[in-house]
Structure 1
Amino acid sequence: MNSPRSILFIAFLVVSFFLFQTWMVDTAPGTQAPSNTTSTSTTSNSDSTVPEPQGSVPGDSSVPDGDSPVAKTNTGQLVEVKTDVLDIVIDAKGGDIVSAKLLEFAQSLDSEQRFQLLQREPGNLYIAQSGLIGPDGIDSSGGRAEFSVEKTEYVMENGTLEVPLTYQKADGTVVKKIFSFKQGQYDVGVRYEILNNANEAQQLQFYGQLQQTMTAGEGGSMIMPTYFGAAYSHDDDKFEKYDFEDMQDQRLNVSTQTGWVSMLEHYFVSAWIPTQQQDNRLFSRVADNSQAIIGVIYPMEQINAGETAVIESTIYLGPKDQDSMAALVENLDLTVDYGFLWWLAQPIFKLLQFLQSLVLNWGLAIILTTVVVKAALFPLTKAQYVSMAKMRMLQPKMTAMRERYGSDRQKMSQAMMKLYKEEKVNPLGGCLPMLLQLPIFLALYWVLLESVELRHSEFVFWIQDLSTKDPYYILPILMGASMFLMQKLQPTPTADPMQQKLFQYMPVIFTVFFLWFPSGLVLYWLVSNLITIAQMLIIYKGLEKKGINVRGK
């Protein structure tokens, strides 16, 4: 999950909301509310190279210092590649991806500018590097291979596209670095074809790494907590966040046959996905105290004289689309971070996705999802209200017992347990349904917060982006009014005056909090309140027909 403060804040809101609902029933007149990863090691950041005896990964010498511009000597010929969803720039020096725009996503609402995922700007570096290191590699800390290119512009026309870069070593060995693209896909194939024309065997290793300025992104706020940093997956851990502070404290060094490394921001992800049938090594380091680097190194490859070897990997540059990422590699879809409730949130998201496919509007899908969830929870809601009503009916008897037994707590407790048994009342019946509902509501919160599908998705009229706050604050005000109406359905309680005032101000407090919430979340909460009001009226009517005085009238 995200920061503890954010988790506690959201949990506070949800728990407060449930307590608010419970209190309205329970405090009516006459009621008195009763990982071990052995393959992981760390090293000091003072070591400037990744702990690999056969060679070091380049990076430090090519990283610009602080806010200084990128040196021209570090830039080769630039190759622009356009598909239907990607517009990327490849630097022929090293064959790194130094820019990536996502053509299906605007930088901001109604903007013509496309969302920029990767970039190489002064003071803001975020690039995807790859190369060949080792005794006979073509990349090192001292310099990168300068590839020759056939063209400087490529445009996809027939559903697939390959962009070749070629480098020839002094010994005659030919290295081709080929980028492969497919229509509608954000995963890019990176393939090395090495023809060893030397007279002896050559040894080299593939590496892929993501490099980002640590101060370039945002981590959200307490009201809308989002993660900005690195993450990885390996044999013993499906998904592990690895923020920049952790990266500065200790370096990653994990041997694994499965997994990937990535950089995350709210709705988007870049990830190196190695082949999954060999012992790869995940690593990290911090360069120049400002550049976070996380990557993967393949095992040493030996290519005999006259032979050709092919080394492949994949780089994903795109939105957190769960279906696409899950199809690409195991556990990459977990970058859509639902925290410890992922097992519950994922089915809820599938329901939301299915309903959207029917109504073609994410706002309507949120409404329908809320209806389905509240309908599924209705038996629990009814049990909660019925239990509270029965507890209220026992209040006169409980008051008499208090007067009878006075300060003898043991006899009082025994008498109350006997009374509960005779009347077939569970004293926890009002709280248990609330606790069972809490994980579902928290999971719904994270689904609506994390889903890239809501980004720049309109609902109706003034709501043009469900992922941002209501520009006119209409939904939060309506939500507050619905809480006030729920309160009014109960008579004024004869409870402690301070407690009474606190809960009277609850609708106002929640309205203020929700002014900055994404409108999709506020819409969900408003609909949930309206359904709760309808359920309250239905349950009350049924109980009153049975002669149970629900509201103390």
Structure 2
Amino acid sequence: MESQRGLLFVALLVVSYLLFNQWQMDNAPIQTPVEAAETSSVPTSSSSESGEFIPAATGEQASVPQTETKGGVITITSDVLELKVNTQGGDIVAANLLAFETEQGSGIPMPILTTQGFTFVAQSGLIGSQGPDANPAGRPIYSTAAQSYSLVDGSDNLVVELSFTENDITYVKSFTLVKGNYDVAVDYKIINNSSVAASVQLYGQLKQSTNVDEDSSMMMPTYRGAAYSTSETRYEKYDFGDIEDANLKESTKAGWVAMLQHYFVTAWVPSNETNNQLYTRYLDNNGQAVIGFKEPLMNIAPGSSAMTSSTFYVGPKDQDKLEKISEGLDLTVDYGFLWMISQPLFWLLIFIQDIVVNWGLAIICITIVVKTLMYPLTKTQYTSMAKMRKIQPKMAALKERFGDDRQKMSQAMMELYKKEKVNPAGGCLPLLLQMPIFLALYWVFMESVELRHAEFGLWITDLSSKDPYFILPILMGASMLLMQKLQPAMSQDPMQQKMMQWMPVFFTFFFLWFPSGLVLYWFISNVITIVQMLIIFRGIDKAEEKAKLAKK
């Protein structure tokens, strides 16, 4: 196969892959959820006109719709997180990431949870016979000592307690924020001063509007939706369409539930020692999707107390931190089916960046490393091209000799390849072997929050977004054009020659919307390839000159 055809095939692969990826995100088939192993009833809801959703306790029927009540909002601030908690139910109704800006240079912290414009909140509570969140009169309104809490300088953690007492049972809900961390410990202490045993069950859920616009395109497809993990399935997406079509019902040891968006993740992680139930629910009346968990029922004897807890995470997709919080949570950094290539490339990129302290320079360095390691393939590719170019006159003679007799033409070409020791696939195969690395790097640049708003220099202020002046795509196209000039066309097909001439234009247009970090990689890769081509062709010419002199 000729190299030009190989390049056309590779381009088609890239376009097909991205089109398929976007189609899969928009039209993914619905996965039928596995039924819960327990014989408990399906989580049902108590819904008011506002669309509130409270799961039913295990083995119990749904409670009566609750009366609407209102609480206040308190603010809890650490060095990296600002949370707003509604005292009604103790739900987190807003979360801002102080170390991340909404837009580069705006100075506005990145909002993740919000009720402004659309709904995205993190809810948790206690259901069951004595669970205050299952009360038909309304969810509990907790009391607090202050309206705002901040991490004090010199302190490593901040603990905020909310309390509520009903029927001689006191419920203390506490949030613990640790300096520099995005995970929050959400604990419940139940103090039973009544004369009967108290039965409660912890739940946590994420509720989000499904009509949120995500900055996604064919060139930069991103996912916004739910995901979960079980003991059998470490990571599984469950998008809004899945939730609308079928309620998830999973029973698992440990596990977690999450809502994902580009670069960021919000998750509830229950105890890893209990058998938890994972569920979803779609609220038709206001277009909201819910994904949550329930821990097992717990009984607190009269005159005693007990505690139950879970972890809430809202922050960047930091693989190191996520892996420590729960098994499989780091997989929310989704590299797709090429993860086995993307992972080592990511760690190599991090290692290099720690040395050069510039993400653009790190991309250039990793390009040099990759191209150096792949030099044997490149040499094979261009050596094969040189040999194919050399036998073009003989192939043209065969075509004139055999005309339209394809069978004889094929046999004659095979004999020619064998005699000249030419592998017709030698120019195409190395290109195909390089494509997985390109696609793996594409997902590294797409999924790595470390590259968000990362500056390179001059006009490139954000390697995760497109070049604002399209200079890099143009340079990349020019480098492709130069490669074509250095590589004389071997095909005699006029149509194929025209397509190859338009290939740099096509790729330039194609790369206009790619992240500038990826375009930088491709441009530097082309520059290195041009240097390698000159070295390889010069070496071939010298070898031929020596062979001629030896014959003389």
Contact 1:56/1:134 (<8 A) preserved = no
Structure 1, 87-96 or 379-388: larger mean CA deviation: 379-388
Structure with the greater relative contact order (CA < 8 A, sep ≥ 6): 1 or 2?
Answer: 1
Which of residues 85, 95, 98 in structure 2 aligns to 1:100? 95
Partners in 2 of 1:63 and 1:296 — Cα distance? 19
Contact 2:389/2:490 (<8 A) preserved = no
Which of residues 308, 314, 319 in structure 2 aligns to 1:317? 314
Q: Does 1:76 align with 2:64?
A: no
Partners in 2 of 1:15 and 1:542 — Cα distance? 35
Partner in structure 1 of residue 199 of structure 2? 203
Which of residues 156, 164, 167 in structure 1 aligns to 2:164? 167
Partners in 2 of 1:491 and 1:413 — Cα distance? 24
Q: Given the superposition, is the C-alpha separation of residues 230 and 59 from structure 1 closer, same or farther in structure 2, using an over 3 Å criterion?
A: farther
Partners in 2 of 1:78 and 1:148 — Cα distance? 11
Deviations 1:11-59 (A, max 9, x none): 7374799xxxxxxxxxxxxxxxxx9x997139xxxxxxxx954974556
SS of alignment partner, residue 453 of structure 2: coil
Which of residues 385, 388, 413 in structure 2 aligns to 1:388? 385
SS of alignment partner, residue 293 of structure 1: strand
5 Å matches for 1:441-480?
A: 441-480=438-477
Partner in structure 1 of residue 362 of structure 2? 365
Structure 1, 178-187 or 406-415: larger mean CA deviation: 406-415
Partner in structure 2 of residue 291 of structure 1? 288
Contact 1:55/1:134 (<8 A) preserved = no
Partners in 2 of 1:39 and 1:531 — Cα distance? 49
The residue type paired with residue 63 of structure 1 is G
Partner in structure 2 of residue 437 of structure 1? 434
Partner in structure 1 of residue 253 of structure 2? 257
Partners in 2 of 1:10 and 1:196 — Cα distance? 68
Contact 1:93/1:145 (<8 A) preserved = yes
Q: Given the superposition, is the C-alpha separation of residues 258 and 427 from structure 1 closer, same or farther in structure 2, using an over 3 Å criterion?
A: farther
The residue type paired with residue 124 of structure 1 is F
Partner in structure 1 of residue 530 of structure 2? 533
Partner in structure 1 of residue 61 of structure 2? none
Q: CA deviation at 1:175?
A: 1.1
Deviations 1:89-127 (A, max 9, x none): 111100100010000011111112111010112x40100
Q: Does 1:482 align with 2:479?
A: yes
Q: Given the superposition, is the C-alpha separation of residues 244 and 407 from structure 1 closer, same or farther in structure 2, using an over 3 Å criterion?
A: same
5 Å matches for 1:321-360?
A: 321-360=318-357
The residue type paired with residue 123 of structure 2 is Q
Contact 2:74/2:147 (<8 A) preserved = yes
Partners in 1 of 2:349 and 2:125 — Cα distance? 41
Partners in 2 of 1:501 and 1:417 — Cα distance? 27
Partners in 2 of 1:482 and 1:55 — Cα distance? 59
Q: CA deviation at 1:259?
A: 2.1
SS of alignment partner, residue 505 of structure 1: helix
The residue type paired with residue 446 of structure 2 is L
Contact 2:80/2:98 (<8 A) preserved = yes
Which of residues 138, 144, 169 in structure 1 aligns to 2:132? 138
Partners in 2 of 1:493 and 1:400 — Cα distance? 14
5 Å matches for 1:217-296?
A: 217-218=213-214, 220-287=216-283, 288-296=285-293
Deviations 1:199-258 (A, max 9, x none): 222222111000001112315011211111111111222211111111111111111113
SS of alignment partner, residue 234 of structure 2: strand
Structure 1, 227-236 or 93-102: larger mean CA deviation: 227-236
Structure 1: tracts of 5 or more residues without a match = 1-8, 18-34, 43-50, 66-71
Partners in 2 of 1:96 and 1:500 — Cα distance? 64
Partners in 2 of 1:326 and 1:111 — Cα distance? 31
Q: CA deviation at 1:541?
A: 1.0
Contact 1:57/1:133 (<8 A) preserved = no
Q: Given the superposition, is the C-alpha separation of residues 383 and 454 from structure 1 closer, same or farther in structure 2, using an over 3 Å criterion?
A: same
Q: CA deviation at 1:416?
A: 5.0
State the Cα RMSD in Å. 3.0
Q: CA deviation at 1:381?
A: 1.1
Contact 2:88/2:141 (<8 A) preserved = yes
Contact 1:459/1:466 (<8 A) preserved = yes
Q: How many residues align?
A: 509
Deviations 1:136-175 (A, max 9, x none): 21112842111111111111120101111111121x1111
Partner in structure 1 of residue 51 of structure 2? 63
Structure 2: tracts of 5 or more residues without a match = 1-8, 18-28, 54-66, 547-552
Which of residues 118, 121, 124 in structure 1 aligns to 2:113? 118
Partners in 2 of 1:299 and 1:167 — Cα distance? 22
The residue type paired with residue 251 of structure 1 is N
Partners in 1 of 2:466 and 2:40 — Cα distance? 48
Partner in structure 1 of residue 190 of structure 2? 194
The residue type paired with residue 358 of structure 2 is N
